[in-house]
Chains A and B, each alone.
Chain A
């Protein structure tokens, strides 16, 4: 049975957020859109499994997570582009003027160094602003695991950005935006 037009319209509506998530996972814009395309294809193929009472974005992000996992298993070397190069590519495509480019490379570089198990919950909670329960649903892990992984990811990210295990309070607060 073909996916109906209502469902296709709903999918169209979540593409921007799906693209943002894919971009934050794999950095390279074209590779990210490959992931989005795979996700859309799978969503259309399995549309009858979608329960209309649920949040479509959460369901689609869950498919994207699985697709990303499959991709990493197939070829770990290609799934994540060197973050510094990707960031430079993106800046060349036109970043916001007035933003600290050096710092942004730092941030993406640090993010790329997190393990995928830490990076995904951090991105879903921080960037996609999912609740821990929604994040748990996307990643098929318990809520408590989401909580500990997000916390761990924050600590590691801080460590990478700061070069110190524990940031001290006070005057040398780093400018982050």
Chain B
């Protein structure tokens, strides 16, 4: 658009909506200053816009009809089951059985352990259980510890951990670098998943707060790739399926903090192996 040329209506309309930036924006403003008839046209559009808003916005303040809130409260009949998040109960049970009362306190108010079956749970439940079991461990949080010894030994342990988990899971296991988010890799372990092995990577911040990344080779029916969020009690979880791998990030951090970690992991995951930063 040259200065002398009239911006077309679509451009003027987009300008009104704040969709025109930079030099075009300045040129349109200059044009409108010099051309009162076009300025008047845009003012009419703006008045129509305000009138539409004024006309429909009272609906915002109306009380929400009961039938709509009831729709939100309704649970599917055939799929009626535990109303609390399913993995809470699994976590509660395993924590009570395996770790004891101290961690059990995390899950005050969750349901009775006899409701929880040992098998038949989904992989995200197993990820939550694995976090609850291993994150509080002081002496043996991981099988392969990458923080012991000097730098050379640490590097060697990292390489070993990555190779070992990659071989056992049959998918590339990267050791994600979360130092920009304030988390150092502690190490990892191999775990049993439903039909095969899975891996858990553990990270820790300067306050000693831990997050775990649970990885498994995606099953054929793991179609969804979207980030999903769940929260119960003190733990939050983001899980997603990307490529051939399912990921679950579990920790006590606030949702935004955990999301930043999840996004960092997803981003590094998309980089080719050679280009990804070393874990330490």
Q: Which residues does A use to contact B, with CB under 8 Å? A: 1-2, 4-6, 8, 11-12, 15-17, 19-20, 23-24, 33, 36-37, 40-41, 44, 48-53, 95-96, 99, 103-104, 107-108, 111, 122-123, 125-127, 131-132, 147-148, 150-151, 154-155, 157-158, 161, 166-170, 173-174, 176-177
Contacts and interface: CB of A to CB of B under 8 A. Distances in A.
A52 B228 contact: yes
Interface in B23-81: 36-37, 39-41, 43-45, 47-62, 64-65, 67-69, 71-76, 79, 81
When A and B form their complex, which 6 residue pairs have the shortest distance between CB atoms, in order from nearest? A169-B40, A151-B13, A51-B226, A151-B10, A176-B47, A126-B49
Q: Is the interface of B mostly helix, strand, loop or mixed?
A: helix
B110 to A, nearest CB: 13
A15 B68 contact: yes
Nearest to B56: A24
Interface of B: 9-10, 12-14, 17, 19, 36-37, 39-41, 43-45, 47-62, 64-65, 67-69, 71-76, 79, 81, 83, 85-86, 224, 226-231, 238, 259, 263
Contacts of A169: 36-37, 39-41
17 contacts: A19-B59, A23-B56, A51-B227, A52-B227, A53-B259, A53-B263, A96-B58, A103-B51, A126-B48, A126-B49, A127-B52, A147-B10, A147-B13, A158-B44, A169-B40, A174-B44, A177-B51
Contacts of A122: 52
A11 B64 CA distance: 12
A155 to B, nearest CB: 6
B46 to A, nearest CB: 9
Nearest to A133: B19
B51 A158 contact: no
A44 B51 CA distance: 33
A29 to B, nearest CB: 8
Nearest to A96: B58
B9 A15 contact: no
A132 B19 CA distance: 7
Contacts of A174: 44, 47
Given A24-B52, A52-B229, A154-B45, 15 more contacts: A2-B76, A2-B81, A2-B83, A8-B73, A17-B60, A37-B71, A44-B71, A53-B227, A107-B51, A127-B53, A154-B9, A169-B40, A174-B47, A176-B44, A177-B50
